[in-house]
Amino acid sequence: MLPISFEHRLCSRSTAEMTVEELVRLKKVLESSDVIRKYEWENRPKRGGTVFGIVSLLLLYLLMESRKTTYRGSVKNLSDEDCTLLGLADREGRPRRPSAATLNGFVNKRLPDIMEGIGREIVSVILGMSSKLIVTIDSTPAQASRYNYDADYSPYYEIRMDKCHILMVNGYPLFMIQSSGNAGDNPFAEPLIGMLAGYSIKGKEIEIYVDGAYDAFLTYAAAYMATGRVMRCSYGNDAVYSGTDDKKIRDVYARMWKTNGFDSHKKNDIDFMLRFLFHNGEQELVGKYLRDRCMDMDKEKGKPPVRFVCETMHRSMKRWINLDIFRIRKATKVLRMKCRFLCVQMLSLLFKGYLET
């Protein structure tokens, strides 16, 4: 998948309605998708039948979600010019509108087959856009109806809600895990960071910033194992050192000389020892060491004001796409939120990032 050049992307979106002219800037990007191309080839119609293209229907669905309308409303409001721009035309080039049922069937039956593949391509594009990756993790509420008793009531937000746990890089949303409204944030940090480890980030400058909800030894350790960097965390003012220094790591490592993988020549290689200890049952010790190093970095450099991008991007995403769970059936809630997050990812390619110049 090809990225949109910086010059052709839009500035931060206002509250104005998304136009078709703006969305079609994504058309060439989606047409370059190997996932979409392969799916269309494997599911091509037989005997000369005609169907709407995946890219055209995907852009129409994105238009529907960005305008916060219904399947019927999104099709009804299409002009002939909109159809031409979106590629909704017959073989003679005449505008041809899909029915609301066609769009509904695409979202609920065809899109789930390629949604994860398209998401992986978008993530690869975003990670390849910069040599410096600023990673942030945070959660945001997905509000439910007050009568939706399947959703937890949050005393903090004073609403019924689910939670969306999101990992972002340079202000671009990469991964999301949906949970109940009262679930803690920290248990989702490790799987989110683990998803990042599945992509090519070797050789890139990486910084990780999280808030105090993720101040846990195992989270520090998991972040280091995935990225090789010390996680920076907004810990409490009463935080104290654990006293785990290089000597402590070296001593514990030396006592494990009978363990497979031990190398006596690596006693001065902190990275090797930390990874060895992590994979041999000393995850908490590794986390203690890394948390102490985080506190050292904060004393030396001060706490960096980078986490503003989480709240800023969450507000922007909710202006772009409705990330609440109002009027969504319980049976399709998870799928619909995944579809909406894919829309957010596509729109993030269209807009200039907050950490770009």
Q: Are 229 and 207 in contact (CB under 8 A)?
A: yes
| Closest-CA residue to 65 (of 347, 352, 354) | 347
For residue 306, the model assigns a pLDDT of 52
User: Mean pLDDT across the stretch 187-208?
Assistant: 89
Under 8 Å between Cβ of 128 and 104 = no
Q: How would DSSP label each residue in 285-324? A: HHHHHHHHHHHHHHHHH---TTTHHHHHHHHHHHHHS--S
27-77 per-position pLDDT tens digit:
999 999 999 999 999 988 877 666 789 999 999 999 999 989 999 999 999
pLDDT at 357: 43
Q: Of the ranges 47-51, 251-255, 332-336, which one carries the lowest mean pLDDT score?
A: 47-51
Tell me the helices (H) and strands (E) count for the chain, helix number first: 15, 6
The pTM for the full model equals 0.89
- Rounded CA-CA distance 239/244 in Å is 14
Instruction: Write down the mean pLDDT value for the chain.
Output: 89
Q: Which amino acid is at 267?
A: K
Cα separation, 223 vs 237, whole angstroms: 22
CA atoms within 13 A on the CB side of 111: 25
Give the model's confidence band at 164: pLDDT under 50 very low, under 70 low, under 90 confident, else very high.
very high
